[in-house]
A and B are shown apart, each in its own frame.
Chain A
């Protein structure tokens, strides 16, 4: 069995600064050994450990979609030792990625359903992966209506601007982009917090409608009552959690909530599952 702590060596192929505060960058990695790409087969919603020798590892959601080949992408917020170092690395530098890790969004369940994606701030990465995955021509017929409610503090803080614009132009996905506030007179989308926009734009509850929520705790806190009001069942609300992690494979012991490890049993849980777990996250 392969050593699960051993990362696949990768080269940084491209670095894109995503936001105006320059704290979010997207890193596109190419595997040094092309065969590793096959070994790294993943599903939208999974994450990986980005591994920088001498600095350590950080768990980051996979932003690329399994339908995109030849590379993997991660959008990283600059917060700690490893992410700050990564932000200063250059195209061509060698590092490692270890994964894919965790469960994913429940694609077997979501097939044939309406999917409502609700995201805020930099937690949009695995949601981007999911949208790209669902919009792939081979996959799109498997899903019914797709709604995306995505907000950031201001237009300059939205991730993946070009893609958002492209999705806006399509008629097989309902985009509801919003910002908390802006003084840009040309802003042509919504203004308001994500929970408010969700209240206005999210489709009503239906046994065939599932919501995926990913965002800062405060957004989740206020979005949940909105979905409750709309009548969403708690097993139709899907969330992805964050925790401090090290091993990523359920062994090192730190990221548990109750008996479940966020790294291995999660990071994706339904609200119904979370209701049965201690409130310790």
Chain B
């Protein structure tokens, strides 16, 4: 593993060089908060940000994305036959992504890139992208990444990790993709790896110290699905929910989508949109039957998916990286940390209502 020290004067020049080889994305201040945006020529990512309001998932997986186009004009030879939408999968680089958000892509990958089927849109966009992470030294009070399998200096999912040291960035090259990017940027000051690693660990320990939120997850995998599904706390958890899609849309690991056709004149497209398990329509059968007709069922689905079904299906940790966005943005203050706590400590035998 190699380390590079990037002087902040060289940083700017490097970004300018990168712009020739990559389409660059980064955090940009928009109104009172930050969002990941394509950087225009000369525009620089605002590395002083804390975290973006929305997760960067849309960079790989846009909220609305064209899949196919088609013509219904019968004079066309290929009428009523879907054509692959033209896409640009030229190399991209996301500058300044937080480790938790980068880690989220690895979780989502388990869904989009499977042995049986590969989602070509997601996989191609992901593979075309290099992730330059910015280690997090001032986490929010709602961040609980360290107990959600990630962390402020977490490396998985990143190609390059930057730690801000005032006048310089200490950069750890994590993958060949990261190495290519460093080369393209011309950031060449290699530094003593051992010293750099111990410095990084120091910074990491300090940052982790500042994470005050924790979620207990250890017992989740041993819980049985059915008793947890029927646990008595769901009604209370779901009471305040208004079934909007905020939590799912701001979440870096929520991946569900809907497919729609739209026709104007004789030309049409098939595209997909983020969808949300909070919406009744999500599971509404054509017959009118709806297995998740009640809001309590939908709220349960979201938390069971993230904190239990995913854990069981992939033998992995929770489907959450602890970024805290859903906690900060939920209009009614439903807090995943609280729900995770309830689920983790649920004792089916203790809660069983004795027969009258």
Q: Are B285 and A242 in contact (CB under 8 A)?
A: yes
Residue contact A57 to B82, C-beta cutoff 8 Å? no
User: Is the Cβ of B286 less than 8 Å from the Cβ of A83?
Assistant: yes
- Which residues B253-275 have CB closer than 8 A to chain A? 255-261, 263, 268, 270, 272, 275
B225/A276 in contact, CB under 8 A: yes
Please, which residue of chain B has its CB at the minimum distance from the CB of A261? B313
Tell me which residues across on chain A come within 8 A of B305, comparing CB atoms. Answer: 253, 256
- Give the A-B pair count, Cβ closer than 8 A: 128
Task: Describe A's contact surface by its main secondary structure.
Answer: loop
B206-246 CB mask vs A (1 if < 8 Å, else 0) is 00000000000000000001100110000000000000000
Whether, in the assembled complex, A9 has its beta carbon less than 8 Å from a beta carbon of chain B, the answer is yes
A243-B285, A254-B282, A281-B291 given; A95·B80 CB < 8 A: yes
Tell me the nearest residue of chain B to A5, going by C-beta: B67
* Residues of chain B within 8 A of A57, CB atoms compared: 259
Please tell me if B114 contacts chain A, counting CB pairs below 8 Å. yes
B230 contacts across to A, CB distance below 8 A: 278
Task: Give the complex CA separation of A54 and B258 in angstroms.
Answer: 15
Q: Is the CB of B257 within 8 A of A252?
A: yes
Query: How far does the alpha carbon of A54 sit from the alpha carbon of B114 in the complex, in Å?
Result: 29
Q: A231 in the interface, Cβ–Cβ < 8 Å? A: no
Looking at the assembled complex, report how far the CB atom of A272 sits from the nearest CB atom of chain B, in whole angstroms. Answer: 14
A-binding segment of B16-24, B116-124, B150-158, B168-176: B116-124
Closest CB of chain B to A258's CB: distance in Å?
A: 5
Q: How far is the CA of A79 from the CA of B288 in the complex (A)?
A: 9
Contacts of A79 in B (CB 8 A): 286-287
A3 to B84, CA, bound (A): 9
Tell whether A53 pairs with B117 under 8 Å between CB atoms, given A254-B283, A256-B309, A281-B291.
no
**In the assembly, what is the distance between CA of A278 and CA of B313, in Å?**
15
- Chain A residues proximal to chain B, CB less than 8 Å: 1, 3-7, 9, 32, 51, 53-58, 79-80, 83, 93-96, 217, 242-244, 246-247, 249-259, 264, 276-278, 280-281
Pull 16 A–B residue pairs with CB atoms less than 8 Å apart, ordered by A.
A3-B120, A4-B117, A243-B283, A243-B285, A244-B285, A246-B258, A247-B257, A249-B116, A251-B119, A253-B256, A258-B229, A258-B304, A258-B309, A259-B309, A259-B312, A280-B301
Besides the known contacts A53-B270, A256-B301, 7 further A-B residue pairs in the complex with CB atoms under 8 A apart: A54-B268, A58-B286, A94-B79, A247-B257, A259-B225, A259-B308, A276-B225
